[in-house]
Homo-oligomer: A and B are copies of this chain.
């Protein structure tokens, strides 16, 4: 018996041209079509809804999980929304309006309003009976919210397994964990929700108002999607482009160019400062052309150490291993780390110049020991600067309200390149004044 799973059906539809996929959905019974549209891996569900006759679209939307319905609704065009809304039940319309009022990447935007809650003074058997009779889907039934019978505030959360393995005659609240429930306000960022679910190994987190009233629950499958999505964004930003928001092979060529050209141009314009710096030092360059040989080497070393430091700090910030207040602890590690790494590269650089000179592979001129000293000292200074600047930049961005991942490796490298040139020529001037310069 080969029955197609909804996730596989969604994947199959992804392979079809949109108009054809919409016709396939239309031909199905609407609950089956709704199951497929519930799959987060289905690309462009809103586009499919737009292509369906309004009656079929309304039937499918009605069958969706509330959180998914809101996600899709968010993407619909204004005319489609206006055509669809009157065809939905009043209750669904109201739920939709509520979910749409939260930002998409917040707990409120991720949550489903289709959950099980019972008064905390019910028995375990009564609760199980209730679940049996309402018969909801798995997303919503593994975490049962217990409400104060009077105030209706959330008082405890209990897992379905505790009910199944517990004493049927006991009060449901005694079957719950003794801890106060973990819950979040609706505006909590999805990264924070993911961190809580992961830390406390939960299958769902209740979302509550400031007065403790239950709004919905965020379930683990939505959070896994959110974690993977944030990871993709961080990697893409770290690589120096905007987040694509779509799979690489699905995104159209012009959008791909647009998402990359912005940062590339900004970096290019900033990097033009290196040309200005070089122009500024042109007199020195002409006198000591041997100095130009090491410019790419020295600049890239600063960029590399900076990109190491920035990626380590970005990830630690994302995982909340460190907070804004820890900036000085990071600086206190990166300064000595940069000095050690810089000195290491400096020594290798000096040895390289010495060996080449002694073996006669290249002639760095009469003052080659001073040139080697310049390169060694400049490497130490620039790698140290790279480590400190690369590690502090994410803090500065976060403090200013930007995503720290915007401190991409190329961004740091550019910053360090320009400063690196100034450091290099300053060191050269100090060491070589009176000889080469």
A residues whose Cβ falls under 8 Å from a Cβ of B: 1-3, 5, 7, 41, 128, 131-132, 135-139, 141-142, 159-165, 178-180, 194, 197-201, 203, 220-221, 223-225, 227-228, 231-232, 234-236, 238-241, 244, 247-249, 253, 256-257, 260-261, 263-265, 267-269, 271-272, 274-275, 278-279, 282, 285-286, 289, 292-297, 299-301, 303-305, 307-316, 319, 321-322, 326, 329-330, 333, 336-337, 340-341, 344-345, 348-349, 352, 362, 383, 408-410, 413-414, 417, 421
C-alpha gap A260/B293 in the complex (Å)? 26
C-alpha gap A385/B116 in the complex (Å)? 57
Contacts A137-B161, A248-B316, A345-B268; is A308 near B241 (CB within 8 Å)?
yes
Query: Is there an interface contact between A161 and B164, defined as CB atoms closer than 8 Å?
Result: no
C-alpha gap A337/B251 in the complex (Å)? 13
C-alpha gap A32/B235 in the complex (Å)? 39
- Seed contacts A260-B337, A275-B296; 7 additional CB < 8 Å A-B pairs: A142-B203, A194-B224, A239-B312, A271-B300, A274-B296, A279-B293, A285-B292
Query: Is there an interface contact between B238 and A238, defined as CB atoms closer than 8 Å?
Result: yes
Which of B198, B303, B383, B410 is in CB contact (< 8 Å) with A228? B198
Query: Is there an interface contact between A200 and B5, defined as CB atoms closer than 8 Å?
Result: yes
Query: Is there an interface contact between A348 and B269, defined as CB atoms closer than 8 Å?
Result: yes
Query: Is there an interface contact between B264 and A341, defined as CB atoms closer than 8 Å?
Result: yes
Main secondary structure of the interface of A (DSSP, over half): helix
Query: Is there an interface contact between A307 and B244, defined as CB atoms closer than 8 Å?
Result: no
Q: Least Cβ distance of A223 to chain B in Å?
A: 8
User: Which 9 residue pairs are nearest across A and B when measured between Cβ atoms?
Assistant: A239-B311, A274-B296, A409-B409, A231-B231, A201-B221, A135-B165, A304-B410, A138-B161, A247-B321
Contacts A132-B164, A228-B319, A409-B410; is A244 near B312 (CB within 8 Å)?
yes
Q: Least Cβ distance of A423 to chain B in Å?
A: 13
Contacts A142-B161, A410-B409; is A275 near B256 (CB within 8 Å)?
no
Query: Is there an interface contact between B322 and A297, defined as CB atoms closer than 8 Å?
Result: no
Query: Is there an interface contact between A265 and B344, defined as CB atoms closer than 8 Å?
Result: yes
Contacts A128-B164, A321-B247; is A409 near B312 (CB within 8 Å)?
no
Contacts A142-B160, A235-B314, A274-B296; is A240 near B308 (CB within 8 Å)?
yes
Chain B residues closer than 8 Å to A244, beta-carbon distance:
312
Chain B residues closer than 8 Å to A137, beta-carbon distance:
161
Query: Is there an interface contact between B311 and A236, defined as CB atoms closer than 8 Å?
Result: yes
Contacts A239-B308, A311-B240; is A410 near B247 (CB within 8 Å)?
no
Contacts A5-B179, A249-B326, A312-B248; is A268 near B301 (CB within 8 Å)?
yes
Query: Is there an interface contact between A239 and B178, defined as CB atoms closer than 8 Å?
Result: no
Query: Is there an interface contact between A239 and B337, defined as CB atoms closer than 8 Å?
Result: no
Contacts A227-B231, A296-B296; is A267 near B304 (CB within 8 Å)?
yes
Query: Is there an interface contact between A248 and B330, defined as CB atoms closer than 8 Å?
Result: yes
C-alpha gap A159/B413 in the complex (Å)? 51
Q: Least Cβ distance of A28 to chain B in Å?
A: 16
Which of B278, B336, B409 is in CB contact (< 8 Å) with A253? B336
Q: Looking across the interface, which residue of chain B has its beta carbon closest to that of A267?
A: B304
Q: Least Cβ distance of A297 to chain B in Å?
A: 5
* 8 pairs of residues in contact across A and B, judged by CB atoms under 8 Å: A7-B199, A198-B228, A227-B228, A253-B333, A271-B301, A272-B352, A296-B421, A304-B413
Q: Least Cβ distance of A326 to chain B in Å?
A: 7
Which of B247, B278, B286, B316 is in CB contact (< 8 Å) with A296? B278
Chain B residues closer than 8 Å to A313, beta-carbon distance:
248
Query: Is there an interface contact between B307 and A362, defined as CB atoms closer than 8 Å?
Result: no
C-alpha gap A289/B256 in the complex (Å)? 37
Q: Looking across the interface, which residue of chain B has its beta carbon closest to that of A246?
A: B321
Q: Least Cβ distance of A248 to chain B in Å?
A: 4
Query: Is there an interface contact between B272 and A241, defined as CB atoms closer than 8 Å?
Result: no
C-alpha gap A235/B304 in the complex (Å)? 14
Q: Least Cβ distance of A256 to chain B in Å?
A: 6
Contacts A41-B199, A221-B201, A410-B409; is A297 near B279 (CB within 8 Å)?
no
Chain B residues closer than 8 Å to A293, beta-carbon distance:
275, 278-279, 282
